Amino acid sequence: MASNLDTLIEQARSNLAQKKLKMALNLLKKAEQFAQNDTSTLARIYFEMARVYGQSSDDASALALVRKAINSSEEIAPTIDNWQKELVASRKNSLARKVRKQLQPYLAESDTKKYLLGITPRTAVIAGCSGAGLTVILLVIYVFPWHILRFGTYSYQPGAFDIATAKSNVGQLFIVVTIDEPVDNAKLTIPISSGSCFAVSKDGYLITNKHIINTYHEAVKDRDVITCELVACFGSRAADRHKVRIIHECPYYDAAVIKIEDKYFPTPLEVLDTEFNPGDEVYACGFPGKASDLVESLNIKEIREKWRDKIKKLRREGKADFFAIVPEGSFEISVTRGIISAVRTIKDVKWIQTDAVINPGNSGGPLVTAECKVIAINTIKHSDSESTNFSLAIKQLTEDLSPWVKF
């Protein structure tokens, strides 16, 4: 079977060279059917498909197949890198830049340094003929402070985490529902912690996950819910809370924009649109552990049973603010440190995989650098791993969020 696959791929390459694009694509699709779970071969097939679409100037399809190839096997990255150099040589600079951007997280560090320096193997050999030239090159590589250069990517610089900025700009979201209490013919107002959010503008625009907003929509439609509000708490007390309204829900990503009308943020979080690499240090901010699984199911009977006794006690004590059912410690922000394990593209969505601890309640909070600059939105905890978590890379949301967020 392997030899047959190789034959199909080579035939496709031959047809591509002769500009018989449709024939080449048909052969590659047939090869894809035979490859089944052979990830290495699938990566080759997707790469060759990308070359076909690149030849036909369908850049979007070519990039999608580049991502599929890398997701199938990261070992294909150097081969794709050679192709992007061919694209530059053939003056397809736009596609070459986009392909290079897809490759950045996967290229070896030595290869990256080589391109940053502009030193090719041949140049290195020529320079090596001169002892002085070799000395200069070594000094440039090992002595020059590369960290002061960005080259379009972010390089982590050690330092103390800016906790004050995080506290000022990361909030906890509550869905506040009012429901009937049939036993004593009263109404129960219950705040249910549902996730986190963070400020990205001085006038109160916030970012969170869309799945939190979806849960709010479900609560509004529930026939047992009389009223329903979305509330954000900033600060260490239940009283530091504000109503928010929904501004925008991203159609393709788990992200949303909400707005506080009565709070000003002097130094909102800065959102970065640069690339990040495995090994960079990051911090996950939010309010984990307090988001109830009850809000996921919206089982009103369970909600009523959970809080009935505590609310009755508050009433007997003459207290009307039912946020008192939420423990005081719940309003203290949690920050966990980790590193980026990988940058992955799954179904055309880019995720930052990290070992920074993320739990229910962290959803919607920011994944930030030590300087408290946002690179992703905390979203998913891997169900089978305590140390694998995924955050939605925020750079891909530039177009979606640009009316409200300054990148």
Global pTM value: 0.58
- Domain ranges across the chain: 2-107, 113-144, 163-401
Fold exhibited by the domain 2-107: 1.25.40
Is 66:50 a contact under the CB 8 Å cutoff?
yes
CATH hierarchy code of domain 163-401: 2.40.10.120
Residue 75 has phi, psi (to 5 degrees) of -70, -15
pLDDT tens for each residue of 162-176: 888 999 999 999 988
Sole residue written with tokens 């890198």? 81
Q: Which whole-number Å values give the CA distances from 141 to 138, 156, 202, 344, in the listed order?
A: 5, 18, 42, 29
Q: What is the pLDDT of residues 14-40, one digit of tens each?
A: 888 888 888 888 888 888 887 777 888
Do 2-107 and 163-401 share a fold? no
Q: Say how many Å lie between the first and final Cα of the chain, rounded.
A: 50
Q: What is the pLDDT of residue 177?
A: 85
What confidence tens digit (pLDDT) does each residue in 223-270 have?
A: 888 888 999 999 777 778 899 999 999 988 999 999 998 899 999 999
Distance between CA atoms of residues 302 and 294, nearest Å: 7
Contact 401, 254 (CB under 8 A): no
pLDDT for the residue numbered 319: 66
